[in-house]
């Protein structure tokens, strides 16, 4: 049956266009109940069970299916995902509304409907002759959809009666809309709210914890005292932003101080790019990454960023007087130039909440169901949840979702989602850090795996078309030990004319990953491979990353080659790019390659090639540094793992060899050569990488720190900075130069991917290069795959496709890649931090030399070179007398009693694992030397025990 709707639309030119929409109604759409004689086999995919007996409801003891409305699907997805909830009918009307309102929930519901064990059935009610409803005159589309859902629920109940006379199967309508529920009951449809139904499932009391508490009023705390000012409605916020009264930006909470945040203002305005917020009332219930509207405070109320470290550890969840007291600590006398634009949140434009990992802080009140949840991310406030499983969940890592934040509650309300496992357990903690950093780590789907080549795979005649056969060349790879995803290989040989030919050969991943397919989409979503201490989360399936794309030795592999002809002074005479086939003659580690170069006896072709490469690399590096490229430093650590337990047994800083630098130089050169080529060919659509120059204010701390050691650091240009860092040497303090370089690294901006047609500044500050991209690691970076595709089109080795030359699409890709790279970096740091804790847990208490990196008002941030470890020494501790502290921001220095500490001062600290807070187990540092009476701790550690309470200690030692 065909329904058609006709309406008139005015065109831009002023004419009138008649539009006819056809809507087909069918009789052959199945109800989804297996065994339904009326429908036969009309339904496909997962179907409803004929007798759903898995859950017993005290409200509806008969077997039944559930039919939720849109809001239940949107807000109670955590309940619907629970294994206890099965046999659910998802209407097309509901699914379309969810799709329009929340992409993440839509994806989750699609995943649930594809799970055969859940028996969720999607019913296309909008195309079923008996369930389709027309919108009535004067009826809103919302009311029409509500009516369509009720019509479908009524049809189901009547349809199921026909299955058999004795069959008592019913369909229960689940809605949290009071009016909709009343109408349904009037029409004879059994209807309950989600809460009523979940509470009726007496066999599954744990489900109640997963209910989202939606009515903010109903969950307001008993005190009723208004703490926060009201958020303005969106219409007023938009007016205010338009008129300039308010500014829109992203809310960034502080990790070190829960009473402080910054808002990064959107738009091109140079003034007030960053606004400081201080105090609970000014933060006004905004949560990290929310898009907010802020109002600037008058200049006489502006403040300076606080140097105090404040963590929200109070047990009394609504003690506001204590909060006001702590806010006063933030306000200290500062010079006027330190003051920054300051504001307050007046409204929320968009919430960016996600499920949060953390731990339950069990209430001291016996039998209480209300508890505080402490997120692992210190930027997220604690969340109040209701649970009956508190004693089970104590000491476990759990996931909680936020439901709302009432004006009279110190903390937001939320609900329990999932238990991840015991705190401290390696698998659990790895899962937590992957979830917290939004690292996609689910196994690759069948749709992705189905696109992989069938094994055994080999290079065919067809593959050789448009490729150069370079298998005769003496190519080798140099990588860290244990590397299986080998992206790059090199060769160097002398030509007949006396010049040198140097080749960088990169795995041809774009041959296997074709644009737009499921494998390409998944690689683009992941963006990068994430390397944790003991685990690798691949961007592409293992068959590609460790086998078919990996340039392993003595096997034929497809590559994309960048080949230069150079003279012996490393000057490039010719450059060419070609798709190729190579056969690597050796897969070496950095140490093995170094050994060959240094060996007096080895003179084979691989070693000769390496020596040629190394000689040229030194010249290239010298030239780069003369141009102003920076040589910065960051302490990288390597763990030595126990082969049985996989626990870290040793921790040391990574040793860098000449061969590390050799490989790096040729990768940089290849990236620059490719960047020039693709930009020349695609001026508007090249995917490039830039490193912005830091604003002068970023360098303040570096300049002051150097000045305190009578050294001058110039920061006008990258060259000036590089030269002054080279000159900043101290004969009595050789480690000082490394410390300055570490500090200089902290002043830098983040390097980012961008589309050449959307930007004018291409410069890479750190490399002192006018143009740069990423070409050399396509197995582990999606950016390189796009660059390979661009280069392939530029040299006529592959054809283009629409998205490749759409600068807006490319800009979106870059945005995701920048986010994924940043998160991968943070996840890697978190993994190192966790393994460092494991190391010191087994090591016990140690004392080591350290250098001060930063001074704070109440703490020193120190670096321990031996372990490449950074930590904070606090001087204000609970239940201990407060020392006399004098902080000077100008020098910067911190005077403790009568001892003054400057940046880069050498101290001795005691390192131990503090497990008193299970949620945030941390490396705790105390000052040993210089000795300050009442502050420094003795070197003798026999009487010290910084551990969890006895009851919890047993739990950890399982």
Do the beta carbons of residue 782 and residue 821 sit within 8 Å?
no
Rounded CA-CA distance 712/31 in Å is 79
Together in a domain, 376 and 273: yes
Rounded CA-CA distance 321/311 in Å is 16
- Number of helices (H) and strands (E) in the chain: give both, helices first: 25, 38
Q: Residue 790 burial by CB count (10 A; 0-12/13-18/19+): exposed, middle or buried? A: buried
Helical pair 736-747 and 718-727, crossing angle rounded to 10 deg = 160
Confidence of residue 326 (pLDDT cuts 50, 70, 90): low
Together in a domain, 370 and 481: no
DSSP assigned state of 749? P
- CATH code, domain carrying 241: 2.40.50.690
Query: Percent of the chain beyond pLDDT 90?
Result: 37
| Structural domain span for residue 480 | 446-691+752-826
Decide if 662 is inside a domain.
yes
- CATH code, domain carrying 851: 2.40.50.140
CA angle 68, 70, 75 (to 5 degrees): 90
Residue 163's contacts (CB-CB under 8 Å, 6 or more residues apart) are 33, 35, 36, 37, 38, 169
Together in a domain, 181 and 53: yes
Together in a domain, 546 and 606: yes
Together in a domain, 766 and 732: no
Decide if 951 is inside a domain.
no
Together in a domain, 377 and 291: yes
* Residue 5: φ, ψ to 5°: -120, 135
Rounded CA-CA distance 304/808 in Å is 39
**Of the candidates 821, 750, 834, 776, the residue with the CA atom closest to the CA atom of residue 535:** 834
Which structure tokens are listed for 129? Answer: 């002759």
User: What does the pLDDT look like over 87-122, one tens digit per residue?
Assistant: 999 999 999 999 888 888 888 888 888 888 888 999
Together in a domain, 735 and 775: no
Q: Is the pLDDT of residue 384 over 50?
A: yes
- Could you identify the residue written with the tokens 């003034």? 271
Decide if 13 is inside a domain.
no
Q: Which of 172, 195, 210 is the last residue of a domain?
A: 210
Which structure tokens are listed for 640? Answer: 């030595």
User: What does the pLDDT look like over 206-219, one tens digit per residue?
Assistant: 888 888 876 544 34
User: Mean pLDDT: which of 34-43, 195-204, 679-688, 914-923 is highest?
Assistant: 679-688
Decide if 320 is inside a domain.
no
Q: What is the pTM of this model?
A: 0.78
Do the beta carbons of residue 304 and residue 364 sit within 8 Å?
no
- Could you identify the residue written with the tokens 């210190």? 378
Together in a domain, 700 and 568: no
Which structure tokens are listed for 571? Answer: 């000057």
Mean pLDDT of 237-260: 89
Together in a domain, 917 and 793: no
Together in a domain, 759 and 651: yes
Q: How many domains are there within the chain?
A: 5
- CATH code, domain carrying 53: 3.40.50.1010
Pairing state of beta strands 922-929 and 906-914?
A: antiparallel
Decide if 764 is inside a domain.
yes
Residue 718's contacts (CB-CB under 8 Å, 6 or more residues apart) are 628, 629, 630, 693, 765, 766, 768
Decide if 33 is inside a domain.
no
* Residue 555: φ, ψ to 5°: -135, 150
Decide if 125 is inside a domain.
yes
Rounded CA-CA distance 356/402 in Å is 8
Together in a domain, 701 and 582: no
pLDDT at 947: 43
Do the beta carbons of residue 407 and residue 376 sit within 8 Å?
no
Q: Is the pLDDT of residue 792 over 90?
A: yes
Decide if 21 is inside a domain.
no
**Of the candidates 775, 820, 797, the residue with the CA atom closest to the CA atom of residue 679:** 775
Together in a domain, 770 and 906: no
Do the beta carbons of residue 106 and residue 99 sit within 8 Å?
yes
Between 677 and 723, the higher pLDDT residue: 677
Q: For 722-741, give one letter per residue: b (16+ CB within 10 A) or e.
A: bbbbeebeeeeeeebbebbb
Confidence of residue 516 (pLDDT cuts 50, 70, 90): very high
**Of the candidates 283, 186, 152, the residue with the CA atom closest to the CA atom of residue 229:** 283
DSSP assigned state of 642? P
pLDDT at 290: 93
């Amino acid at each position: 049956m065909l329904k058609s709707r006709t309406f008139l639309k005015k065109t831009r030119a002023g004419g009138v266009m008649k539009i006819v929409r056809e809507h087909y109604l069918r009789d052959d759409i199945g109800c989804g109940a297996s065994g339904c004689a009326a429908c036969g086999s009309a339904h496909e995919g997962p179907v409803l069970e004929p007798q759903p007996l898995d859950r017993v409801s005290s409200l509806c003891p008969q077997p039944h299916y559930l039919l939720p409305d849109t809001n239940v699907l949107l807000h109670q997805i955590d309940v619907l995902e629970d294994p206890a909830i099965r046999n659910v009918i998802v209407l097309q009307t509901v699914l379309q509304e969810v799709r329009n309102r929340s992409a993440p929930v839509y994806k989750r519901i699609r995943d649930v409907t594809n799970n055969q064990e859940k028996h969720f059935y999607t019913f296309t009610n909008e195309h079923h002759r008996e369930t389709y409803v027309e919108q009535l005159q004067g009826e809103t589309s919302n009311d029409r959809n509500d009516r369509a859902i009720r019509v479908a629920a009524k049809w189901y109940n009547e349809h199921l009666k026909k299955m058999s006379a004795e069959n008592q199967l019913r369909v229960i309508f689940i809605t949290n809309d009071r009016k909709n529920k009343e109408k349904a009951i009037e029409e004879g449809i059994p209807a309950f709210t989600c809460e009523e139904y979940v509470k009726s499932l007496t066999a599954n009391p744990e489900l109640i914890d997963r209910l989202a508490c939606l009515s903010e009023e109903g969950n307001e705390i008993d005190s009723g005292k208004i703490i926060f000012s009201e958020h303005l409605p969106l219409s007023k916020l938009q007016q205010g932003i338009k008129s300039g009264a308010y500014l829109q930006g992203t809310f960034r909470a502080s990790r070190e101080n829960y009473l402080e945040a910054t808002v990064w203002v959107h738009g091109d305005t140079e003034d007030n790019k960053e606004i400081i917020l201080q105090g609970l009332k000014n933060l006004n219930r905004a949560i990290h990454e929310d898009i907010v509207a802020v109002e600037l405070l008058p200049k006489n109320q502006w403040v300076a960023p606080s140097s105090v470290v404040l963590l929200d550890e109070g047990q009394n969840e609504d003690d506001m007087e204590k909060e006001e007291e702590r806010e006063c600590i933030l306000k200290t006398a500062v010079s006027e130039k330190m003051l920054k634009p300051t504001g307050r949140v007046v409204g929320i434009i968009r919430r960016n909440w996600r499920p949060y990992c953390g731990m339950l802080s069990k209430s001291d009140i016996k039998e209480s169901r209300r508890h505080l949840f402490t997120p692992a991310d210190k930027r997220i406030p604690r969340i109040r949840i209701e649970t009956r499983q508190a004693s089970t969940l104590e000491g476990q890592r759990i996931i909680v979702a936020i439901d709302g934040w009432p004006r009279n509650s110190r903390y937001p309300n939320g609900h329990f989602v999932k238990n991840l496992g015991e705190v401290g357990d390696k698998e659990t903690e790895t899962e937590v850090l992957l979830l917290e950093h939004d690292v996609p780590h689910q196994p690759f789907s069948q749709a992705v795996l189905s696109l992989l080549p069938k094994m055994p795979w080999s290079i065919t005649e067809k593959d050789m078309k448009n490729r150069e056969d370079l298998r005769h060349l003496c190519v080798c790879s140099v990588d860290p030990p244990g590397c299986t995803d080998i992206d790059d290989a090199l060769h160097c040989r002398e030509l007949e004319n006396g010049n040198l030919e140097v080749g960088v050969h990169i795995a041809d991943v774009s041959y296997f990953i074709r644009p737009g397919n499921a494998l390409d989409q998944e690689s683009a979503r992941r963006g990068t491979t994430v390397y944790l201490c003991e685990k690798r989360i691949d961007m592409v399936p293992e068959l590609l990353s460790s086998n078919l794309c990996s340039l392993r030795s003595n096997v034929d592999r497809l590559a994309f080659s960048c080949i230069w002809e150079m003279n012996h002074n490393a000057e490039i005479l010719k450059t060419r790019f070609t798709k190729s086939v190579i056969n690597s003659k050796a897969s070496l580690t950095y140490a093995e390659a170094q050994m060959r170069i240094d060996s007096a006896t080895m003179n084979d072709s691989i070693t000769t090639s390496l020596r040629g490469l190394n000689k040229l690399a030194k010249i290239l590096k010298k030239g780069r540094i003369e141009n102003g490229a920076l040589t910065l430093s960051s302490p990288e650590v390597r763990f030595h793992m126990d082969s049985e337990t996989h626990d870290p047994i040793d921790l040391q800083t990574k040793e860098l060899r000449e061969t590390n630098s050799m490989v790096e130089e040729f990768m940089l050169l290849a990236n620059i050569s490719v960047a020039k080529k693709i930009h020349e060919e695609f001026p508007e659509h090249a995917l490039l990488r830039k490193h912005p120059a830091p604003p002068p204010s970023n360098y303040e701390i570096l300049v002051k720190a150097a000045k305190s050691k009578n050294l001058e650091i110039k920061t006008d240009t990258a060259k000036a900075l590089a030269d002054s860092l080279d000159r900043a040497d101290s004969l009595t303090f050789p480690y000082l130069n490394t410390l300055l370089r570490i500090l200089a690294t902290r002043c830098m901006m983040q390097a980012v991917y961008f589309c050449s047609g959307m930007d004018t500044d291409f410069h890479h500050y750190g490399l002192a290069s006018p143009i740069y991209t990423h070409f050399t690691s396509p197995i582990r970076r999606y950016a390189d795959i796009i660059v390979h595709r661009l280069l392939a089109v530029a040299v006529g080795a592959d054809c283009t496709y629409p998205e490749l030359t759409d600068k807006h699409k490319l800009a979106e890709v870059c945005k995701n890649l920048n986010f994924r790279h940043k998160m991968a970096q943070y996840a890697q740091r978190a993994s190192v931090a966790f393994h460092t804790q494991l190391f010191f847990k087994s090591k016990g208490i140690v004392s080591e030399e350290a250098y001060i990196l930063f001074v704070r008002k109440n703490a020193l941030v120190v670096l321990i070179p031996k372990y490449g470890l950074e930590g904070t020494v606090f001087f204000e501790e609970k239940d201990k007398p407060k020392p006399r502290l004098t902080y000077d921001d100008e020098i910067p220095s911190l005077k403790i009693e009568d001892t003054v500490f400057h940046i880069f001062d050498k101290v001795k600290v005691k390192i131990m694992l503090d497990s008193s807070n299970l949620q945030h187990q941390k490396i705790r540092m105390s000052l040993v030397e210089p000795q300050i009476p009442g502050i420094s701790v003795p070197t003798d550690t026999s009487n010290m025990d910084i551990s969890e309470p006895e009851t919890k200690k047993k739990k950890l030692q399982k």
